Amino acid sequence: MQQSDLCFLTIAEASRGLRRKEYSSTELTNACLERIDHIDGKLHCFVTLTADLAIKQATQAEQELRSGKDRGPLHGIPIALKDLYMTKSIRTTCHSAVLANWVPDYDATTVTKLQDAGAILLGKLGMHEFAFGGPSVDAPFPAVRNPWNTARIPGGSSSGSGASLAAGLCYGSLGSDTGGSIRTPSSHCGVVGIKPTYGRVSRFGVVPLSWSLDHAGPMARSVEDCAILLQIIAGYDPNDPASANVAVPNFRLGLNDGIKGLRIGVPRANWFDENLGVDPQTEGVFNQALETLEELGVTLVEIDGNPFSLARKANQTILVCEAYAYHEKRLQEAPEKFGSSVRRRILEGAFLSAADYITAQRVRSVLNAQISQSFSRVDILATPSAPRPPDPFEGMDPNEQNLRPSFTNPFNLTGLPAISVPCGFTVGNLPAGLQFVAPPFEEATAFRVAYAYEQATEWHKQRPML
């Protein structure tokens, strides 16, 4: 098998190949490291590459598998982490000069779970500074580029997590999502990413942006791979006050059950058409995806999009208030270390009052109830993942990027599980994503619908030419 083919295996495929002894964990790891060395100079996905550690872990994984110690489907598989997941003895920068040389003394809970599962850590991935602002223009690390067109943004804030997967630099990654930061780069890079239900995955050891909106979750090149990763990192953690003590089902168990008879809600009226300004090409790709879903046997139900449309203002008010509370001391002591875009956005929180914050939380409760009522009529929701294709870097205003409407942030406000899966390309060969949103803790339903669509199409098999 050629190196490029080896690098584009799914986790499930690579795991089966390891057990059939078609290749070793060291071969998978070296293939990724060689590809990183060859092309990451023009993508800037990795902030910190842990090559020596990866080889050491791969060697150990080989020995364990040979001896019969099998830790599961991620054993011996190279992955990478968004650079806000704390890693013991490995720097965690959040893509910022503020933490450029910070080396944590403990691992995030999710990192520990991945290690226990036998995953191989290739390194830490670039992002938007502190998961806020926009593509970094004055950070100490270069902005991540989109593998489909390096003149375009990859989406954020989990930029490196999406771009590295699309480019074949790793097999899986973790991102974080406060307003769309897993689903947007998944859409813009043509990969799969899921924001689980709020509380499903521990955020302990994940540098926060907004405590009540932050979600940790997996990204990969297939729906099944995301299910594999979520299976490993999900579960109750007493170290995270928001962690939900609920049972974790087998997310892969019902992937092949089909979706005939399911009702899919499309909240188009008063959202897509009136308030969002969806790019016509993006909407065209989305409508084609809906036709495919109908062919698979679902019933499409048009529902009122107004509650979803109203969610953005409350989401942004809560976000900037909580971000300012976290960063206030650092901003007072060394404001010059923050990039201009993220500094400006965080400082917005200084001018909001307690009344603003409480009002936004009250609005949140009302909208949660209204959006939850949608599930009395439908089983799952469908929207585009992003309203437009990835923008070019040239002429881009990072501040303007954050003022645009969003298909993703209503589901941070509600905490609902939401997955983005590739659904086509716009003119210029730029990827587009399809978002499915399920009721609380029904990630298995989101996976089942996304998998049925994925298997009925070829979009997830496309690779960028690098």
* Catalytic center residues: 82, 157, 181
DSSP H/E element including 287: helix 280-295
- The CA R_g of the chain, rounded to the nearest whole Å, is 21
CA 173/CA 167 separation, integer angstroms: 13
Give yes or no for a contact between 387 and 278, defined as CB atoms under 8 angstroms apart. Answer: yes
Tell me the C-alpha to C-alpha distance, in Å, between residue 130 and each of 94, 95, 280: 5, 7, 32
Nearest partner of 132 among 187, 186, 215, 209, judged by Cα: 209
β-bridge mates for residue 4, sequence order: none
Q: Which residues 6+ apart lie within 8 Å of 62 measured at CB?
A: 24, 25, 26, 76
Question: How many helices and strands (H and E) does the chain possess?
Answer: 15, 11
Find where tokens 């970094």 sit: 136
How is residue 417 annotated by DSSP?
A: -
Give yes or no for a contact between 150 and 227, defined as CB atoms under 8 angstroms apart. Answer: no
CA 357/CA 377 separation, integer angstroms: 32
Q: Is 243 left (phi over 0), alpha (psi -120 to 50) or beta?
A: beta
Angle (CA) 356 358 363, round 5°:
95
Nearest partner of 180 among 408, 433, 464, 441, judged by Cα: 408
CA 458/CA 424 separation, integer angstroms: 9
Nearest partner of 93 among 139, 57, 54, 60, judged by Cα: 139
